[in-house]
C-alpha cells in the first residue's frame, strides 16, 4: 500500500501523523531498534492500531516513512565559499550521519520496504550535490559532475556502511574526494 500523503493535510490527520511519528521515535530510541510493534506505537501515539494499518499498511512501511522524514534535509548544505570545501563539509556530515547506529537503522528501514523510499533518499543526495554544483558554476569554478561524486564518493561510503560494517572515517572520505579531484583535473 502506498503511503497517503497528499490528502486531508489539515488538522486531525496531521496531528495523528505527527503523534505516530513521534511515538516511533520514542519507542525506536527506547528499544534499541527492534521488537517494536504496531499496537505499541498506536498506544504510545494515542490512536488505535487500525488507524496505523489503514494509513501505512504495515510496520515496515511506517518505519520507512519515518526514516525518510528524518533523512529529509531541512536546509541547503553550508556555503563555505568554495566547491572543494562545500563538498568536503557535505560529505563529512553525510558519512557521519549515515554511519552512526541511528543512520544505519534508518537505512535498513528505508531499504526494507517495497516502496519508492530509496528513490526519495537518492533524490535528497542529488539535490544537495546539485546545489553545490550550481554554486560552483555561479562562482566560475570548474563544473562539478554530480554523477561522478555519487558514483565515486557517495556510493563507496554507502557500500561500506551497508555491506561490511567497516568504519567510514573522515580520512577515508577525504581520500575519495582527493581521488575524484585528481581524476577530474588531470595534471
16 binds DNA, rule: CB under 7 A: yes
Among residues 68, 71, 132, 154, the one that binds a second copy under rule CB under 8 A: 154
61-84 burial: b if 16+ Cβ within 10 Å, else e: bbbbbbbbebbeeeeebeeeeebe
151 binds a second copy, rule: CB under 8 A: yes
From the list 44-52, 68-76, 131-139, 149-157, the region that binds a second copy by CB under 8 A is 149-157
Residue 3 or 102 with smaller CB distance to DNA: 3
Site for a second copy, residues 62 to 101, rule: CB under 8 A = none
Check: CB of residue 143 under 8 Å from CB of residue 81. no
Binding partner selected for residue 152 from DNA, a second copy, none, CB under the kind-specific 5 to 8 Å limit: a second copy
Residue 25 or 108 with smaller CB distance to a second copy: 108
Q: What residues have CB less than 8 Å from 159, skipping those under 6 apart?
A: none
122 binds a second copy, rule: CB under 8 A: yes
Check: CB of residue 167 under 8 Å from CB of residue 98. no
Residue owning grid cell 494499518: 53
Burial tier of 140 (Cβ tally within 10 Å: 0-12, 13-18, 19+): exposed
Binding residues for a second copy, rule: CB under 8 A, are: 33-34, 60, 108, 111-112, 114, 118-119, 121-122, 125, 150-152, 154-156, 158-160, 162-165, 176, 179, 182-183, 186
Amino acid at each position: 500500500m502506498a503511503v497517503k500523503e497528499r490528502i486531508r493535510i489539515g488538522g486531525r490527520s496531521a496531528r495523528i501523523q505527527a503523534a505516530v511519528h513521534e511515538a516511533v521515535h520514542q519507542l525506536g530510541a527506547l528499544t534499541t531498534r527492534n521488537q517494536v510493534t504496531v499496537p505499541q506505537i498506536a498506544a504510545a501515539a494515542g490512536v488505535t492500531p487500525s488507524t496505523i494499518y489503514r494509513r501505512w499498511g504495515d510496520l515496515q512501511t511506517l518505519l520507512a516513512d519515518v526514516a525518510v522524514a528524518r533523512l529529509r534535509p531541512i536546509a541547503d548544505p553550508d556555503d563555505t565559499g568554495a566547491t572543494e570545501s562545500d563538498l568536503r563539509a557535505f560529505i563529512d556530515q553525510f558519512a557521519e550521519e549515515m554511519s552512526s547506529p541511528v543512520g544505519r537503522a534508518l537505512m535498513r528501514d528505508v531499504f526494507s520496504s517495497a516502496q519508492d523510499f530509496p528513490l526519495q533518499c537518492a533524490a535528497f543526495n542529488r539535490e544537495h550535490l546539485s546545489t553545490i554544483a550550481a554554486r560552483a558554476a555561479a562562482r566560475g569554478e570548474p563544473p562539478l559532475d554530480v554523477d561522478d561524486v555519487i558514483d565515486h564518493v557517495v556510493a563507496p561510503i554507502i557500500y561500506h556502511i551497508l555491506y561490511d560494517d567497516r568504519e567510514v572515517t573522515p580520512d577515508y572520505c577525504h581520500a575519495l574526494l582527493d581521488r575524484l579531484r585528481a581524476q577530474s583535473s588531470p595534471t
